[in-house]
Structure 1
Amino acid sequence: MTTESARRRVVVTGMGAVSAAGVGAAPLWAAAKGGVSCIRPLKLARPYPGRIKIAAQVPDFDPAAYLEPELLPYCDPFTQFSIVAADEALAQAGFGRKEVGGPRTAVVIGTGIGGATTIDDTSYGEYAEGKRPDTLSVPRLIPSAAPTTLGMRYGAKGPTFALASACSSATQAIGEAFEMLRAGRADRAIAGGAEACVTNGSMRAWEALRVLTPDLCRPFSARRNGMTLGEGAAVFILETLDAALARGATPLCELSGYGTTSDAFDPLRADVEGPARCMRLALESAGLAPAAVDYLNAHGTATYANDITESEAMRAVFGDRPPPVSSTKPIHGHALGASGGLELTVTINALREQIAPPTINFVEPDPKCRVDPIPNEARKMPIRVALSNSFAFGGVNATLVVQAI
């Protein structure tokens, strides 16, 4: 780390979310802290004959209640979610719509798929109904629709792009925005992740992988049998500490470190070395030793092999006593490219309230997952430093470090 980058501390001044808990970061945190699962019976526009009948979908979402009528035709649900989350983040940060923009403001939004709903609807219309695609299908479905729409909405003219790395997309997007601010390429950033992937075609594809549970998601627990697909968005306002203080803002926390690696190992199977090196790099970026970490929000998919691999990676970094760990995916589902953002929202609130959320649905320990999973009930505990992990298909790993100011 250079002396110059060390001087450019980065803080989070606002955050917003849309999730299976509803619209807002507060409902998401309330559900996570209270151990309230937001996984419900699957609702799709067309009949679904598949085996899995549950998902973590955003309930009763009416985009017309949040977006202008002239904007709606351009917005797939993943873009709609990102706009609602970003508007909330800006309001918390104390910015008016056009006050946050300019040539020194970056926009980076991660997504695993992009406009999945538009792709699914267009494909069904073409192949099953013989309908001609809507004129605006392409602007809706491209992954860059979310960041470019946010850039136009807020007048942000700095680096603007989508980042797609499957389940690590949001965490990498936030991390790369952090690096831009630290390096002096931007002074503030709108960063996060969005996904609206609960569609007929997507559910069928995930069923084919045999990683979805038909009942309960149980990370790190014995008898776990898979994940639940989710959707939503989380967006954050990142600023340099100096810029935030100069305008009288109150930071929520410091974003102090970021690490990212690739396993270069297997399209589906995770490896221990890549995630372990990722966490070490994040701590090195933050200038912290492993012993400084008080809480870790895990990737924790509740698939058999991945939980074992992540547990072993944590022990490789932290030794025989890793910090208390929780996975909140049984609350908000695995929202793919948005998951890391939803989990960072939870992690920041855990830091601010000094409460570690629980890993719900936990039955009994798995001797192959030798971690403290904070089973079933939230834990009041001192948290000064916290990590948030995201580990994706293809072996793309990302970790963020947050700490109290």
Structure 2
Amino acid sequence: MSINVPRGTKDLLPGETEKWQAVEELIRDTCRLFQYKEIRTPIFEHTELFTRSVGDTTDIVQKEMYTFTDRGDRSLTLRPEGTAPVVRSFVENKLFGLPNQPVKLYYTGPMFRYERQQAGRYRQFVQFGVEAIGSQDPSIDAEVMALAMTVYQKAGLKQIKLVINSLGDTESRQAHRVALSAHFSPHIQEFCSDCQNRLEKNPLRILDCKVDRENPLMATAPKLPDYLNEESAAYFGKVKHYLDILNIKYEVDPNLVRGLDYYNHTAFEIMSEGEGFGAITTLAGGGRYNGLVEDLGGPESPGIGFGMSIERLLLALEAEGQTFENLPTLDVYVVAMGEAAKDKAVSFVSQLRQNNVSAEMDYLDRKVKAQMKSADRLNAKFSVVIGDNELESGKISLKYLANGNQQQLTFEEIVENFTEIASKATEELA
């Protein structure tokens, strides 16, 4: 009697594993450029972690989790997603006490969901994700999206698009929730039993229903952006502002809600537009989850992150006929003084990274002295300070931190000639 691989899983054989290794190396190199550090969490967790964080009205919790009782009569679940375990570890290991904030983490590993197998979707799949915890600065929202887009672009994908939305703060979502309830209530009997249960608990989840997605009431449902209060609208405006600075094209989709309850404010998905990719076009998704750390017993620590399926990345590459190539520790720490300087810093850091120079900046609006201490803790090779004078002259001092030597250069000269500059500085120190 032969025993086959379980339904919804697959073996990765030689010839295919090399592609995975190349993607994993690309991911590690990209995270190194952006200064995200690896974290590894257990494959199974206490079931309560997911029911509390992901939400007991979501499809994941209601229908897709692999849950079992161990010999100690404890309910355990194979992890269906990566954010909740990372946040649990962040709280349990008191990472909120580290001197460098926000804490920027990434992970890769298998996740498990009981769902119908189809192209690029398995019951065991490998997810790469990042979590930036400890900052409510909208520029780090843009950075997280930029990191995801960078992985796809470095892998060779060309036919992709970024779709964004704002889910607003608690006040905004409550106003939207009341409107949704009033909209669906008169006709709720037309919907599936899951949606009928969600009407009272969380009507937003009705919009994420796969059974009733074609119901006409879905198209006319109240749009969340119409209920954003002034603070939420301003935050979303800043996120778009930083995406514009980074020259990242995006579309705003007021129907984008994501399938997990912990999201608020920024939500986004990256989709494939490649021909023949299939009906399910989402490659990656994520968003902001202010409040999740507190829900799991930690202090106030706002966060944002995303998850992407490695299987779907490889499938998209195949659909486009693309291959991928590798990339090459902190080279430059950029210090900004003032809002205008920060805008330039966001752009300058992006340009350095695009030229394979590892770069970092401050996301907590700290004073210059504190930013320089951060550069020291990160063992940066060089530092740059941008202020009003530098913006006016177009020149900045590139300081080699090993000996304090510095030279006046334009932004463009540093970006274009960094490898040569760094090599010469090292030679002079020797």
Band of TM-score, shorter chain: under 0.3
Q: TM-score, normalised by structure 1?
A: 0.26
| Structure of greater relative contact order (alpha carbons < 8 Å, 6+ residues apart) | 1
Structure number with bigger Rg: 2
Structure with greater proportional helix content: 2
